[in-house]
Structures are given as structure tokens and as C-alpha cells.
Amino acid sequence: MFPSAAYAEWWEAKTDHFIVYSESSAADAKEFAEKMERVDISLRSLQNVDFSPIKSDSQRLTVFRTGDTRDIGRLAGSGSVAGFYIPRLGGSVSFTPAKNEKRGTGELLGARGRSSKTDLDPQSVMFHEYTHHFMFQHFSAAYPSWYVEGFAETAATMVLNDDGSFHLGNPPQYRSDALFGNYINVPVERLLASRNKPTGEDFYAYYSVGWLLNHYLTFEPSRKGQLKQYLRAINAGTAPAEAARAAFGDLDKLNRELIKYKSGRLPGVQVRPANYSPPQVTMRRLASDEEAVMDVVMRSKRGVDKKLAPDVARDAQQIAQRLPGSFAAQLALAEAELDWSDFDASRLPAAEAAVDRALAIKPDSIDAQIIKGRIHFERGRTDKAQMAAARTWFSKAFENDSDHPTPLYYNYLTYYYEGVTPPESAVIGLEKAYDMALFDPEVRLVLARQLLAEKKGPLARSILMPYAIAPHESKNAKKMRDVVDLIEANKVDEAYKKLSADMAEAERKRRSGDDS
């Protein structure tokens, strides 16, 4: 998939909150991991989030560093992507270039010309993406798209100082065309109050105008407290236009102030986190078989569709045949075959054969135990007797790692798809999985469905609200609002049926490869 490697080696750099797999020198991998841990420390300082030790690797963000921005764009399936993040139960992932190459935003959008001043660097992209992960993990509230991206852009330009302090507030120069020129001009009212389907211009404005608006509302003394008021109103279900006008007043006046603000000297702040200590990094050179399978691992972790799944699995087959005694190769093949089985159930025996070989090498592997359980689970969709065997494997994985949400989640699902009432222990496990993976939309929907089955409408409503009150119109947001409307009308049984039907239809489309 990628051109010849810039380095002949891969390194694993592990910190309190990250696992970094880097195709680079050891020093480069270590420096990157330290920076990412520094970003976490800085965000905790800004948001008053206490440090809590991570016991399970499933709770760490896994970052893959390879190639350049074009390679990352190909992996993402879009040439305009220089780095990206995927929230996922039991192991969120992010992808970023290993080469320190910069690309102008004009080039990423297909325009010609380059300018070093407006180059988008991989570090800014990675800081931006991790801010999303941090926000989704620690704050389960609903946020408008402009604020999600605007706040992430604020963190993207963070300057980390050697003494542990950091500077916040620098403008993203790579968006200077939109911020300080006339390249894209979206008024504040459209950003705050529109419920129309977003255009491409709107999406770009989330980053540029969103950053400027967040910066202004954060640093302008006369607007102190207004942003918090607005976000609270949005989370309470207030319509976007009403929430914006109640918090900010005249939106035309706000727009004029914003235009004037960007032409002046933009303020910033220097912050030193309390009780700062330098991040600790544990380094490990990957073995040759781990390096051989890394391309397959990255593509699997990226996620496959009906078209890509066979290609990834076939590449994994070739490596596994060449390395029959490699745990890494057999595990990667098992995962790739299991992914393929989503679209072709006949691949389950191949997935099971591979995971059995992996378990023969490492019987206590949590990842292998989960895959083995999921194979039984998939068979259990048509043969209910398989669900008991699936639970056995999920139980083994849970015994090895009680802080891994995946065994708890799938253990609950075995009862649901078996068509029996889940025991209290399984429901408690689902709730724990939700708490550990607030960023995962699928777990959120499954828990809401369970709460509706228990006639706990208000609790289900609180779980669904972040999706139901998305300020900009979308099919999914409308579906969630319809469910919430039924709950508020005290029609909990109807809400349960609608949510269940919507989830079943989404699953059918995913497995059929229907992207409509």
C-alpha cells in the first residue's frame, strides 16, 4: 500500500495514555510519544481533569506513524486528509505521518501553490485529533460541530515549552486564507443557528470561523461566561438559534465584533500545569514478524468495507503462510478474516483456524480470546447454542483484563441476540463498558435500547441527547430526535421499537455494503 519505507524499523513507544507505533528512529518515536503525553497533561490542566492511571492498553490511544501525508490520505480514502482519529470500543486509533512533511491547506483542498507560512504540519493535525479523543472520553455532553472543531484547532497550535508549561491561543496559520482573507466567508449566524444540511463551505468554517469564535469567546472579557451558557442550553435541548441569541445577543453584532477582532492583536495565555513531571516512555523495537504484518494491522485498524476486506485478508494470508509460528501474523490474519466474515460468513472457519493458531502460541492473549469469542458470537446469530461458548471466551478475556470494555459489551450482546433477558450482571457490564468508552456511538445506542427495554425513559433520553440535538440536520440526528420525542411523550415502548428498528437497519446496511 505504501511506497518504500523511509526507515527499516518500527518502534513501540508507550506512555500513560498512548501506544505509539512509529516507522522511524527510536529517538523520533520517543520524542513524539513525549509530546503527545504533554498534550494530555496540558488538556487536563485546562479542563480540570484529574490524572487517573490506565491499567489496560485498551484505554490508551494507539497511534500509527508511517509514511508521509499522502500515504495517510490514501489510508483514509481521501487526499485531503493529513491525519485522522477513529473512536472505537476497546482501542481507539489515530494515524499520522512519520515524515515531518508539511502541506498547505490550499494543496490539501486541491489548489496549487505552496507557502511555508500556511503549511499544515502533522503535529498540528495530531494535537487536533487527540483533543477530539480527550473531549469525547471525558465529556459525554453534546457539542455543536463548530465548537468541537474550533476547540480542537485551539489545542492544535499549542506550543509546548521545555519547562512543562505551554502557550495557548496562537492562530492556525494554515487556515489563514479563511481566517484573514476572503477565501471562505461564513457568517456567525449561519454557523450558530442554521439547521440546514451543512455544505462543504460550512464544514471548512467549523475549523476556521469555529476557531476564531471559540478564541474570541474565551479571551474577550465582555463575553465571559457566554460560551458556557450557550453550551448548557444546547445540551438542555434548546434550539440552536434560540440558544445562540439567548447567550450572545444580537448575532449580527457578534459577527461584526468577530471581524474586527481578527484584525487586531490576538491574545493568548501561558500555562504551567500543577505538579508537572516529565512523561515517562517505555521503548521497544518491534520484532521482524511484527514489522512484516504492520501494513495489514494498520489497514484492519483503519476499518474495511465490503470491497477492501478481501484484499486485506489475502495480504494477511500470504504473511501468515510465510510465518506460521508468528503470533502477530496469525492474530492479524484472524482479525482480517473476521472482518471479511461481516460480508461473507463463509470466512468464519478461516478466522477460527488463524485464531486457534494464535492461541496455541499465546493462550492468555486477550485480543485472541476476544476474537475467538466473537467468532462464536457471529455463528450464534443463526445458531443460538453458540452464544454460551462465546460467553466462555469473553469471560476468559475479562478475567485477564477487567478494564477492557469489549468483553463486557459482547457478553451483554450474546444474551440480546440469543433472545433471552440479560442477567443483571450483563447489564451492569454494559454500563461499565459505556463508562469506559464514552466516545463509542454503538455502545451508547445499545445501552439506550436496554434502558428503554427496562422502561427507564429519562435515563435513555440522557444517553441519546448528544446525538439527538446535533445543531446541524442529519438523518441520524433526526432519527434520534424522533426517539427522544417519543420518550418525552411517555411512549417508551414505541421509542424502544423505533430505536431497535433503526439500529437493525443500520446493521443490515453495514453488512450489505450499502452506504446510502
Domain-wise residue ranges, the chain? 12-139, 442-516
Closest by CA position to 393, among listed 373, 364, 418: 373
pLDDT number for residue 204: 81
**Grid coordinates in use for 468?**
439527538
Closest CA to 42 of 173, 122, 120, 157: 157
Which residues does residue 11 pair with via DSSP β-bridges, in sequence order?
A: 22, 285
CATH topology for the 12-139 domain: Glutaredoxin (3.40.30)
Question: pLDDT value at position 4?
Answer: 41
Give the end-to-end CA distance of the chain in Å, rounded to a whole number.
27
Looking at residue 7, what is its pLDDT?
Answer: 53
Q: Given CA atoms 438, 439, 441, 442 in this order, what sign does their dihedral have?
A: negative
The per-residue pLDDT for 113 is 32
Contacts of 357 (CB under 8 A, 6+ apart): 324, 330
- Residue 474, pLDDT score: 65
93-96/61-65 β-pairing: parallel
Distance CA 108, CA 195 (A): 28
Q: Please name the residue that has the C-alpha cell 479563511.
A: 178
Query: From CA 374, how far away is CA 392, in angstroms rounded?
Result: 11
| Contact by Cβ (8 Å): 186, 201 | yes
Kindly give the parts of the chain with pLDDT less than 70: 1-8, 80, 100-120, 180-184, 469-474, 515-516
pLDDT of residue 432: 97
CA distance 455 to 239: 27
Strand order of the β-sheet with 93-96 is 84-86, 93-96, 61-65, 18-22, 11-14, 282-285
Please name the amino acid found at residue 106.
Answer: G
pLDDT digits (tens, 9 = 90+) for 369-425: 999 999 999 999 999 999 999 999 999 999 999 999 999 999 999 999 999 999 999
Yes or no: say if 82 and 57 are a contact pair by the CB < 8 Å rule.
no
Per DSSP, what are the bridge partners of residue 166? Answer: 160, 271
Q: Which residues pair with 119 in a beta bridge?
A: 104
Question: Which burial class, exposed, middle or buried, applies to 429 when counting CB atoms under 10 A from its CB (0-12, 13-18, 19+)?
Answer: buried
